[in-house]
């Protein structure tokens, strides 16, 4: 069993995915608004979801969180070690990913918050040297989103774009976003 | 320029849309131009033009033109009519 890790900051909380979340997450993942950007478009059954949860719970190379804002679940986030011989204890390359399922926050600056939390965690606590992602070439919103965070295109094959992020580029690019999400909130004043 | 004119100007600049699109009902997710990046640009534009600094709750809650006016009102920006 993996050690529980909760990340908090930028107004959101990332808490470990639990069995009680599985049906909610399955419905999110099967929503065409979410699944259209996934490489795997297959509709997921409750049995497949349970089997996936069991596998990822035991896998030291990946971790999945539920994103919460104001105590409500709004989406999912994950980290995966890229190299076969590494786990998430001290990975050199990590693939982060997320989706915002709650329509109220999908086009909102808040969508950056879980990514900032995970990227800080990867670079500062896990000591990763590079983050990477594969994005559908027609997912212009995700490409723009990642570009804003400092990602650069590494390769392009058919319908896929491979992008990478190093810590220095991330620190420089994410400054303005942090400044908006790190301000005082009313409940703290 | 009235505050309403400035507000419309902020939206057209930040979202790269025409001024006739900027109605009270315009909300994020209703047009592709208003995404998380444009949202950030919009907040920067509003803060710069109206000389205010909003707290994070208000930034996150700014989900429509009507809501933007209500939030700016809390910072002393009055809109005619």
Number of H helices, E strands in chain A: 6, 8
Looking at residue A42, its pLDDT comes to 85
Residue B81 lies in a domain: no
Q: Considering its fold, how many domains does chain B have in total?
A: 1
Neighbours of A104 (CB within 10 A): 16
pLDDT in tens, A132-152: 999 999 988 889 999 999 999
Give the C-alpha separation, A48 to B59, whole Å: 39
Measured distance CA(A24)–CA(A162) in Å, rounded: 30
A111 touches chain B (CB under 8 A): yes
Answer whether residue B79 is part of any domain. Answer: no
| Spatial distance between the Cα atoms of A69 and A12, rounded to a whole number of angstroms | 5
Give the model's pLDDT for residue A141: 86
B30 within some domain: yes
Instruction: Answer whether residue B16 is part of any domain.
Output: yes
Structural domain containing residue B36:
3-74
Contacts of A131 (CB under 8 A, 6+ apart): A93, A94, A95, A96, A119, A122, A123, A151, A164, A165, A170
* Model-level ipTM above the cut of 0.95: no
Q: Do A185 and B34 touch (CB under 8 A)?
A: no
Give chain A's domains with CATH numbers: 13-182 (3.40.630.30)
Report CB contact under 8 Å: B35, A145.
yes
The reply to whether B50 falls in a domain is yes
Residue A38 — very low, low, confident or very high, per pLDDT cuts 50/70/90? confident
A184 has a pLDDT exceeding 80? no
Is the residue at B64 inside a domain?
yes
Cβ contact A180–B28 (<8 Å): no
- pLDDT reported for residue A188: 52
Quote the mean pLDDT of chain A: 92
Residue A131: which pLDDT band, with cuts at 50, 70 and 90? very high
Specify if B35 maps to a domain. Answer: yes
Contact list, A116 vs chain B (CB under 8 Å) = none
- Tens of pLDDT, residues A42-90: 899 999 999 999 999 999 999 999 999 999 999 999 999 999 999 999 8
Q: What Å distances lie between residue B46 and A100, B7, B50, CA to CA?
A: 25, 7, 6
Does B80 map to a domain?
no
Residue numbers in A near B39 (CB within 8 A): 107-109
């Amino acid at each position: 069993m993996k050690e529980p890790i909760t990340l908090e900051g930028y107004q959101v909380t990332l808490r470990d995915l639990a069995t009680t979340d599985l049906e909610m997450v399955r419905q999110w993942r099967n929503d065409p608004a979410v699944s259209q950007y996934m490489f795997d478009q297959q509709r997921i059954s409750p049995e497949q979801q349970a089997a996936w949860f069991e596998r990822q719970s035991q896998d030291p190379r990946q971790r999945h969180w539920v994103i919460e804002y104001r105590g409500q679940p709004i989406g999912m986030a994950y980290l995966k070690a890229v190299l076969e011989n590494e786990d998430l204890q001290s990975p050199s390359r990590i693939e982060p990913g997320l989706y915002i399922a709650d329509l109220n926050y999908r086009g909102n600056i808040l969508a950056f918050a879980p990514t900032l939390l995970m990227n800080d965690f990867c670079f500062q606590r896990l000591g990763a040297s590079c983050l990477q992602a594969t994005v559908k070439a027609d997912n212009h919103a995700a490409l723009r989103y990642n570009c804003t965070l400092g990602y650069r295109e590494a390769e392009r094959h058919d319908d896929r774009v491979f992008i990478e992020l190093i810590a220095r580029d991330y620190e420089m690019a994410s400054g303005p976003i942090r400044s908006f999400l790190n301000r005082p909130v009313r409940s703290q004043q | 320029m009235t505050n309403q004119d400035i507000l419309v100007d902020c939206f057209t600049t930040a979202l790269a849309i025409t001024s006739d699109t900027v109605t009270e009902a315009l909300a994020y997710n209703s047009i592709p131009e208003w995404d998380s990046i444009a949202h950030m640009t919009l907040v920067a534009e509003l803060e710069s033009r109206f000389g205010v600094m909003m707290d994070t709750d208000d930034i996150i809650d700014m989900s429509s033109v009507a809501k933007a006016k209500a939030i700016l009102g809390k910072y002393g920006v009055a809109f005619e009519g």
